[in-house]
């Protein structure tokens, strides 16, 4: 047990988890941990080193030996640092999105990353987002939220995000990617994507980020749902 506060935010790709969690962290002055970025950083490193995502043994070894860190830059933007390299932008590339769910399905890879995630939560008030935060990583979190949204809405949000970064992707391509990842993430044996029994489920399809943030702040400030 820890005296630090923990807020878990889970949900499928594009449900708004990271935008909401970042804003909440700012308002509550908590540390934000994007666990998806950790799986992405590892996947990026594997691709860069030419390690195949089917080479489970090498991936397990990489997960054990890779240092993944978060730093805040001068513009107050969180940077993801992997073995000293700033990979913040690189881990959002479509080829990483395409491969990450396979890497994240390996139980021993998850074990290594969960150890790192729990260590971060030991010494900070934390908002952590991912797929298994409320169920596995922080089962005693003070608050658990599970964000959902329609597939069309989630795909539109991701498409905007990719376009703003100059990536050439189509709505169909994004829908296919999200559908494939959600399937892999929810059907894997270890820590599948699912809401904790005590999570509050929020449908963000018709809500903007501010509305979701205010809703969560309301719950947090009133001590429960």
Binding-residue pattern over the window 163 to 202 for ligand DC, x denoting contact by CB under 6 A: ------------------x---x-----------------
List 22, 23, 40, 157, residue binding ligand DC (CB under 6 A): 40
Question: Any contact of residue 53 with ligand DC (CB under 6 A)?
Answer: no
Paired with 8 in beta bridges are 128, 144
Contact segment (CB under 6 A) with ligand DC among 44-52, 79-87, 126-134, 159-167 equals 126-134
Would you state the structure tokens that stand for residue 113, as one six-digit string? 């990353």
Question: Any contact of residue 112 with ligand DC (CB under 6 A)?
Answer: no
List 19, 36, 51, 99, residue binding ligand DC (CB under 6 A): 36
Contact segment (CB under 6 A) with ligand DC among 21-29, 45-53, 61-69, 124-132 equals 124-132
What Å distances lie between residue 56 and 39, 62, 83, CA to CA? 14, 10, 20
CA distance 87 to 35: 14
Question: Any contact of residue 46 with ligand DC (CB under 6 A)?
Answer: no
Paired with 127 in beta bridges are 7, 32
What Å distances lie between residue 83 and 18, 45, 87, 127, CA to CA? 23, 9, 10, 23
CA distance 54 to 49: 14
Residues forming the site for ligand DC (CB under 6 A) = 13, 35-36, 39-40, 100-101, 104, 130-132, 181, 185
């Amino acid at each position: 047990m820890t005296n630090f506060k923990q807020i878990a935010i889970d949900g499928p790709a594009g449900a708004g988890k990271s935008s909401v969690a970042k804003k909440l962290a700012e308002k509550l002055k908590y540390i934000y941990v994007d666990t998806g970025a950790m799986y992405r950083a590892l996947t990026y490193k594997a691709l860069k080193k030419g390690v195949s995502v089917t080479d489970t043994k090498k991936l397990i070894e990489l997960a054990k030996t890779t240092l993944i860190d978060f730093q805040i830059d001068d513009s107050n933007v969180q940077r993801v640092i992997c073995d000293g390299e700033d990979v913040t932008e690189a881990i959002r590339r479509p080829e990483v999105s395409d491969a990450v769910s396979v890497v994240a399905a390996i139980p021993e890879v998850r074990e290594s990353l969960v150890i790192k995630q729990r260590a971060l939560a030991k010494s900070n008030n934390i908002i952590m987002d991912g797929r298994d935060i409320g169920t596995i990583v922080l089962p005693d979190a003070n608050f658990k939220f599970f964000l959902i949204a329609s597939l069309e809405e989630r795909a539109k949000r991701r498409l905007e995000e990719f376009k703003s970064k100059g990536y050439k992707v189509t709505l169909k391509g994004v829908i296919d990617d999200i559908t494939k990842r959600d399937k892999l993430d929810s059907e894997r044996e270890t820590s599948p994507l699912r809401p904790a029994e005590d999570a509050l489920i929020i449908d963000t399809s018709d809500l903007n980020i501010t509305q979701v943030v205010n809703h969560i702040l309301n719950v947090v400030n009133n001590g429960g749902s």
